[in-house]
Amino acid sequence: MSWSIADVARMSGVTARTLRHYDDIGLLTPAYVGANGYRYYEDEQLLRLQQILVLRELGLGLADIAASVDSEPDTLAALERQHTRLLGESDRLARMAETVARTIIELKGKTDMAIKINRPENLFEGFDHTQYDDEARERWPEQFEESRRRTAGMTDEDVARMQREVTAAMIRMAEFLAAGTPVDDVAVQNEIDTHYQGMVRFWTPNRTAYRCLGQMYVDDERFKANYEAIAQGLAEYQRDAMAVYADARLTD
């Protein structure tokens, strides 16, 4: 049995234009082209399209999708591998949903939004902590490799504990911010020292690098969003406190 490109578009939700593009780049070639010039697809192509869509949902680019699908000629084996991957992703998304739900519960009913979280729960459980690896490798190759060596033996439990520590530290800084504590206050600087010593577990930033890291917390929307989820202005407060620390205690 065969299906026209319009049939496949309707069944899969993929537009005919996208299906034609997949054909043009060799990602999904139809079973045959009719005398009328229309593309027609059979079971084999529908199964391949399913694999393509699964991998697309997992965030792969078209080139990586093509390499992955073509590397596994056994359709059943490919589907089993993708099923395992989807189950793992489902578990991760479930943990992320629980994290967001917990945060929503804490935010409901609060009138003082200066500090939005009142206990050091892990705000980042279920999030992919490796998502910045490629960018970090490109921007700071030596520091990235040093960090990779130092974290090679970390377990999932170690990562979860570290995330909880980071969240707790951010909340303590938010409390200083809400109290109007100057960034050069001894208590704030002691907190920043804890932050710096935590960084040293992975790589050792000098004065310039540590100041740049603080600025990145403000400039990079992804990092800033984490701070803003706890308190408005926290990223800038953290940056300013880190700059004071770097100038007073670090060298280039």
User: What pLDDT digit, counting tens, does each position of 84-97 carry?
Assistant: 776 766 666 666 56
Domains and CATH numbers, the chain: 1-108 (1.10.1660.10), 110-249 (1.10.490.50)
- Number of C-alpha atoms within 13 angstroms, CB side, residue 131? 10
Per-residue confidence at 116, pLDDT binned at 50, 70, 90?
A: very low
pLDDT, residue 239, reads: 95
Whether residue 178 has pLDDT greater than 70: yes
Q: Which of 92-96, 193-197, 204-208 has the highest mean pLDDT?
A: 193-197
The H or E element spanning position 40 is strand 39-41
Neighbour tally for 121: CB within 10 Å: 16
Query: Which of the four pLDDT bands, split at 50, 70 and 90, describes residue 123?
Result: very low
Rg from Cα positions in the chain: 25
Average pLDDT over residues 12-22: 89
Contact 189, 238 (CB under 8 A): no
The pTM is what? 0.47
Task: Judge whether residue 118 has pLDDT over 50.
Answer: no
How far apart CA 228 and CA 165 sit, in angstroms, is: 17
